[in-house]
Amino acid sequence: MKLPASGAVGGAQAHCSECDTELPLREPHAREQPIVWECARCGRSYLAVLDEKAPADSRFNVYPGRVHFRCVETTRSREAVAQFVDDLIPRPSVAVELRKSPRSPVALAACAMPLDATQTPVGAAFMVMVQNISHSGVAFTHMQPLAHPYVALEFYGEEDAKMKVVMQVLRMRNLGSFCEIAGEFLVDED
C-alpha cells in the first residue's frame, strides 16, 4: 500500500491493501519516526505514522505492531556512536557544559532490549523515549525500572540511518508514573 504523504489531502485516505479498511496512517515527514502499525481487521503491517487529520473513529482500525530487535549487530565503535550523535544533533549546545561529553536534549523514540550481565537478551523488546544523548551515553524514559544491568538500544537517524549499541545502566529514578534510565555506551576506547 502506498500511504498518503499528508493526511486527507485532496481526499486521499489510506486503506488496507488486504481488506480495504480505512487506516489513519500516512508516510512520515522529515525527522518523524515511523513505527509498525497493524490493521486491526486483517493484521497486515505498515511502517507509518498516525495521521492527525484522519477521522477519529478510524484510529480503532489500527494498533501498534510487535517490536522486533536483533541485538547481535550492536556497534562497539566510539567513532560510529559519535558520528551518529553528531548527525542527529548537528548544532552545538548553547549552554556551558562541564561533562566530558556534552549532552543534547532530544525527543526521539528508540527500540530497547534488556540484557543480563553477560549481555544476553533476557526479555522482549520495547520502545523508549530518549530525552538526551551524548557521545558517551543516553537518558531515556520508560514505563518501569529495568531489572537488568544492560540494555541494547536501536536508534533511528536521518535518511534511514540507524545505530545499535549496548548501554550499561548507571542510574534510574522515578518521574511520576515513569522511570528515567540513564547510562553509558559500551564502546571501545580510541
Q: What is the chain's mean pLDDT, rounded?
A: 82
Residue 3 resides in a domain: no
Strand ranges of the sheet holding 25-26, from the earlier edge strand across to the other edge: 25-26, 45-50, 35-39, 62-64
Inter-residue contact 152 to 121 (CB < 8 Å): yes
Distance (Å, whole) CA 33 – CA 160? 10
Q: How many domains does the chain have?
A: 2
pLDDT digits (tens, 9 = 90+) for 79-111: 988 888 888 775 655 555 556 678 888 888 899
Provide the domain limits for residue 109: 71-185
Specify the pairing of strand 126-133 against strand 25-26. unpaired
Asked if residue 91 and residue 147 are part of one domain, the reply reads yes
pLDDT at 147: 92
Residue 170 resides in a domain: yes
Asked if residue 100 and residue 46 are part of one domain, the reply reads no
pTM of the model: 0.56
Distance (Å, whole) CA 147 – CA 115? 9
